[in-house]
Structure 1
């Protein structure tokens, strides 16, 4: 099989580098070699390999540290397979949580090497935009504290509730809980909670079940979740739930089951809003831009000006990381030069006059907080959909929501779309 895939082999032992190089070249791969972490950094800074085979134990910088550096700098946009002659399960788990694709123990059986490389390359092609990892969310004190809390609860069996505004990256935190080579189940909708909750547990047996936006569950789905919670130990499933709503408020209003709230609130972690750690925004914006560059969507010389990064830093980002990703994508695609300027950022942040708060209806004060919020959101989304002529991708970007969450919200608010 002839291929143009380039594999970077990083190992301090010349014999292993040469052996791996010979095997891979015989299979038609292009191979680059680095004898230490510094050489690997230099090579990675110049170009993006399609795959990295990375030794854990090296004299200058160990492979786990290099993996963390790439993850935190937005450079982990290719699959990385860790290698070690004396590794442990803990090391493999840590590497996978940082973002490694897999782990091979030396001496590496030939067929296992080729199968793992082939699988990793296929995965890299299917996912041109690498997802964020917990290590890449930022270096400021808020994210450092978040990482510390996540590490503290990672080995627990209790259900975990992640709370945060839409778009903050709860999925990234949930992924941190996943052990390698175990099931990861993330249903697109939560209707199966009402219909067949135990089927979800069977699918996730010995792995992780991640349920998003559980604040939107109806009464029947809440009962299904309660049943599911009672069977977690039997199926050996780690349950992670996420919500952008206040379950305490919903419980006080009588729309959420008190027992369900009691169980879920026993272990909670709040994922901070982007505006709470502004110091990380420039790095995050550069990471996002790098991914679009490396996917081939935009020019390889494109970059942000310092003033543009300052503009992004000072914006409040109500849609958080999801909104920032959408804005950076739009700026990258519409930039006509080699630099994204502050003016371009400011234009992207300015909404038309017609979207001013003054055009929204006056909200009666005799409504409950939830009714008032629903009235505001209905008017907000109707105007946004009108301004974007029904283009739901742009509506989702401007609102800072994932499309699936946007459609659920629109359905819940009773908004009629064109053609429906």
Structure 2
């Protein structure tokens, strides 16, 4: 079961659409009238949870990236329309099928005062390749980095990889020599628009404006002298914080609580985002090793109604993971499973499970509790009793291939 999130849904935003893009969340366009207005002392952002990793190679979530890309810059950035634009790079060019050339901007500096040089590109790529992060396998297509001079490097791949630049924009951030796994988490140093100040586990991370950040930058310029990311798991508390002025931005607003935000004087912005939410069903654990059971689950869940009611009015049911023609592997001829609980019961009976069965569904929180309850209710209607479990994102991702983990994962 999968559906397209035509608008920000799991991460609906208050008063700033750019937070969904993570690294753009704390910047304003250069050259705007705001440039002459004194910056507010502190911007407070309530997140649904703390970052699971500040190591850029291990970052997996929007809240990770919101903080990581405020501290660090990559050579490239993703523009508002999803296109790639130069960031720390003055120029980025594909010389041939296997070679990308990067020329860095002059006079860039890390927060510790050291210059940003081309050897940092080699250092960053090696870090991702040697990590256990989500991009490690993709980065292994990079055969070597040739450093030509202080500002110029060539990235050479073992095979054509036209998709690589978009991966570089997200995971290949620049950091100084001497950075360690511990310092990524406790004292990160980058070259981005904000500098790390402090971290209180389970409570907040405080950043301050980098006064030496270059302009013009594709990210824009800092919106405040300081930004405090607070970790507030309860959506009602985040909404209360916003209404009371204790927070300026909040994330992960459940659709059924959106009215409370507006009534409290806030504003919800849904920015168009192409993406897929899905319920993973294992196929090597009984009874899900039977394709009839997997088909039954697809017919049992009313994805479109759940999505429209609890996520976004833009949600639509998908036939496969690629959401539309912009995604590799999309097949316009495929039709999604119809919501048909009677057919689901027939398939379960055919699989020898007419009396139903019990199973587990695991997710990571983030404002989708009502979605999980709705999915469980749909499955219960056809005889499948679901035990719902919530876990931290790092644990969730780390146990993805654990045979003892929940057979259903969202």
TM-score, normalised on structure 1?
Answer: 0.27
Greater relative contact order (Cα < 8 A, sep 6+) = 2
Higher helix share: 1
Higher strand share: 2
TM-score, normalised on structure 2?
Answer: 0.27
